[in-house]
Amino acid sequence: MRGGLLRACLLVLAVCAAGLLPRAAQAQANFDRIGGDYLHAPVVSGDPNDCALMCERDRRCRSWTFSYPRSPEDGAICWLKSTVPSRTPSACCVSGVRGSGVLEPRNGSDEVSIDRFGGDYRNFEIKPGEGDEACKAACTEEHKCRAWTYARPGYVGRNARCFLKKEIKPPRRKPGYISGVVR
């Protein structure tokens, strides 16, 4: 009895200790960190990973926010911060702390930062305020649509754009895009 109790206590202590170990920080998509800015710079690639790298290379940087472009002329912006402001939900941005990589959201069917280039039979502008779900719904409603790609505003034009595909093409990493396969 005593040996079993001792083992149980040790197991509980081990689980608690594992919970206290430092974890790798990860950036979060769809969050902004408002304030603490000391530098902002364009991100020509439009890739949040490049913003995280800028922070890593600057000793003063404690956190960062990558702001998606609003139009191709505006481009993406990286905001380096000397503090770590609280996270605020916002589809405008990806934010992280120094040492964090970019964690793209995964929900099983949507492919974030993926373009399935080619195979398009139709494309159209997405109304402001509607997101990738409108593109996905359009593909689901059309019998010949097998896959879709949504381009955020600023990546192929001022407004978001939806590409419906009659063929399933291989996925290709491309920041600012979300794709999915329907059939």
C-alpha triplet 75, 80, 86: angle, nearest 5°: 110
Task: Give the predicted TM-score (pTM) of the model.
Answer: 0.74
Q: What span, in angstroms and rounded, lies between the C-alpha atoms of 145 and 122? A: 9
The answer to whether residue 123 scores a pLDDT higher than 80 is: yes
Binned at pLDDT 50, 70 and 90, residue 24 comes out as very low
**Contact status, residue 32 vs residue 85, Cβ threshold 8 Å:** no
Nearest of 100, 67, 64, 99 to residue 81 by alpha carbon: 64
Characterise 131 by phi-psi region: left (phi > 0), alpha (psi -120 to 50), beta (else).
Answer: beta
Over residues 144-149, the mean pLDDT reads 97
**Contact status, residue 43 vs residue 76, Cβ threshold 8 Å:** yes
Task: Say what the pLDDT of residue 14 is.
Answer: 42
Over residues 160-177, the mean pLDDT reads 96
The answer to whether residue 165 scores a pLDDT higher than 90 is: yes
- Encode 143-155: b = buried (16+ Cβ within 10 Å), e = exposed: eebbbbbbbbbbb
- For residue 33 the two structure tokens come to 């960190």
Q: What span, in angstroms and rounded, lies between the C-alpha atoms of 58 and 39? A: 10
Over residues 33-51, the mean pLDDT reads 95
- For residue 101 the two structure tokens come to 């990589």
The domains located in the chain, with CATH, are 25-103 (3.50.4.10), 111-181 (3.50.4.10)
Across the chain, which distance is largest between two alpha carbons, in Å?
72
